[in-house]
């Protein structure tokens, strides 16, 4: 089968089954030279009921900004695909009239929760930010809701979630020890440097970690001095 003058075959013959079209579409998506051909081959497989092809087709179309075309495939895959559910959350947050999706924080939260249930850390971060912005019903402090979600994403190895968890521990909970652990995780995470905010997270994590350690050393020194040389009860502590 030809696409833009290029022959695509399966073991030297024309593709005939949904699985064969899926294999070619997957190959095209993974090869930058033929990425534009991916949807062309995935669509016949998806229309034939191939679940993996349908999920990947939704991802390909969303990545290309073809949201109206992507939406039906995303909806069909959202029950089992964390990225499909996450994409629907993003479309619902801002709204996408061409896809028939109106802006709705409730709908966005629904899809983000579904994606989070399936293990998508980006959805956990998005939900946490929505709680911080007070866009969702609260049963406790916004920062408590957010930290629970950020910490869950951090445990999955997401570098920004590790950084955000550290920031909340440090600023809102005045908890230097867990903050330091999260900063350390962020600095040790190989994915940090590849993140769009990698340089900022690295700089800030090092800065705050050094201050937390310095404060801890000063506190320990003070306790040791007090142990060795106890102050009279009425002596000011300065």
Length of the chain: 238
pTM (predicted TM-score): 0.87
Return the closest-CA partner of residue 146 out of 157, 161, 197: 161
Over range 40-45, report the average pLDDT: 96
- How far is residue 50 from each of residues 44, 118, 203, measured CA to CA in Å? 9, 20, 46
Residues 6+ away with beta carbon under 8 Å from 95: 101, 102, 103, 104
Q: Is the pLDDT of residue 218 over 90?
A: no
Distance between CA 162 and CA 164 in Å, rounded? 6
Distance between CA 129 and CA 147 in Å, rounded? 10
The 10s digit of each residue's pLDDT in 73-109 is 999 999 999 999 999 999 999 999 999 999 999 999 9
**What ranges make up the beta strands (E) of the chain?**
2-3, 6-7
């Amino acid at each position: 089968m030809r696409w833009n003058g290029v022959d695509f075959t399966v073991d030297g013959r024309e593709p005939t089954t949904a699985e064969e079209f899926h294999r070619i579409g997957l190959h095209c998506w993974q090869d930058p030279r033929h990425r534009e051909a991916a949807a062309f081959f995935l669509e016949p497989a998806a229309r034939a009921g191939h679940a993996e092809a349908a999920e990947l087709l939704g991802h390909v179309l969303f990545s290309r900004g073809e949201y109206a075309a992507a939406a039906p495939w995303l909806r069909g895959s959202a029950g089992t695909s964390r990225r499909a559910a996450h994409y629907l959350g993003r479309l619902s947050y801002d709204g996408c009239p061409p896809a028939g999706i109106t802006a709705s924080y409730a709908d966005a939260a629904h899809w983000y929760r579904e994606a989070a249930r399936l293990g998508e850390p980006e959805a956990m971060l998005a939900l946490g930010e929505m709680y911080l912005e007070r866009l969702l019903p609260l049963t406790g402090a916004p920062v408590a809701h957010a930290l629970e979600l950020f910490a869950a994403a951090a445990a999955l190895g997401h570098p920004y979630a590790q950084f955000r968890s550290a920031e909340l521990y440090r600023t809102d909970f005045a908890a230097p020890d867990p903050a330091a652990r999260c900063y350390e995780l962020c600095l040790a995470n190989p994915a940090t440097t590849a993140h769009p905010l990698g340089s900022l997270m690295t700089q800030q994590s090092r800065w705050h970690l050094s201050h937390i350690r310095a404060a801890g050393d000063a506190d320990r020194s003070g306790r040791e001095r007090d142990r060795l040389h106890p102050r009279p009860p009425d002596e000011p502590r300065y």
